[in-house]
Amino acid sequence: MDLLFKPALVLHVGCGLLATLGGLAPLLTRKGSRAHRLSGRVFAGLMAVLLVCAWLMTALRFSAYFTALSATATLGLVSGLRVLGRKRPDLRAGDRARPIDWAVTLAAVGVGLWILALLANGRTGGGGVAVTMALATSALLLGGWDLWRFLRPTDWPFSPDLWTYEHLAKMLGAYSAVLSAFSGNFLTALPTPWSQLWPSILFQVLAIGWITVLAARRRRGLASA
């Protein structure tokens, strides 16, 4: 077991450190620019390797916290990237959810429900209960949102710009997940569970503020057109 676990851990930590630094580039570059797209692909690639290692380690040594974190980060990353190909479901049938979207989302929701059931029975398998519960709940909320969008893609709150807001919020969520893991492991001067929770709180607030600004700009643009 250690023959697989240790190399996966080294690769996981290495990609995590690079993603923690590299994830800043898509945030700081102009959206839609070549630099934004390139840095986004690099971040997504690092996250993909990181998550493959995370799921392998989870299979070898179960932890409710690590499983919930992996599910939330996986759903945020996959959904945040996939929404780029589902911009206008009102115009194109090909922009509606595909089997891969349903599979990833239903799997994440299933993991969230399973982890909450384990917590209810006192089977945490390591990791803080509060943080694990928050992560499992996040998987359910994000998955529930996506399932609604898959079932009713042109109903509320659809708009032509919704994909922009979804991509922003989900990629910020994926970045906050890797930052939470980094903070929990390395910023040990902060008390638990806040050492793991502050990135999620910060980036949720940032996502809400950013989306509010973008939506206000869009309304002003429509009003002046």
- Give the pLDDT confidence score for residue 71 in this predicted structure: 95
Helix (DSSP H) and strand (DSSP E) numbers for the chain: 8, 0
Work out the percent of the chain whose per-residue pLDDT is above 70. Answer: 97
Q: What does the pLDDT read at residue 34?
A: 93
Q: 165-194: b or e for each residue (b if 16 or more CB lie within 10 Å)?
A: bbbbbbbbbbbbbbbbbbbbeeeeeeeebe
CA atoms within 13 A on the CB side of 113: 8
Q: Express each pLDDT in 168-221 by its tens digit.
A: 999 999 999 899 888 887 877 778 778 888 888 898 899 999 999 988 888 887
The predicted pLDDT at position 1 comes to 63
Diameter of the chain by CA atoms? 63
Closest by alpha carbon to 19, among 222, 215, 220, 182? 182
CA 27-67-49 angle, 5° bins? 50
- Structure confidence at residue 193 (pLDDT): 77
Distance CA(200)–CA(179), nearest Å, equals: 8
Beta strands per DSSP E along the chain: none
Averaged pLDDT in 10-residue chunks for the chain of 225 residues: 86 94 91 93 96 95 91 95 95 95 97 94 73 91 96 93 94 91 80 82 90 87 71
Q: List all residues 6 or more positions away from 164 whose beta carbon is below 8 Å from its beta carbon.
A: 214
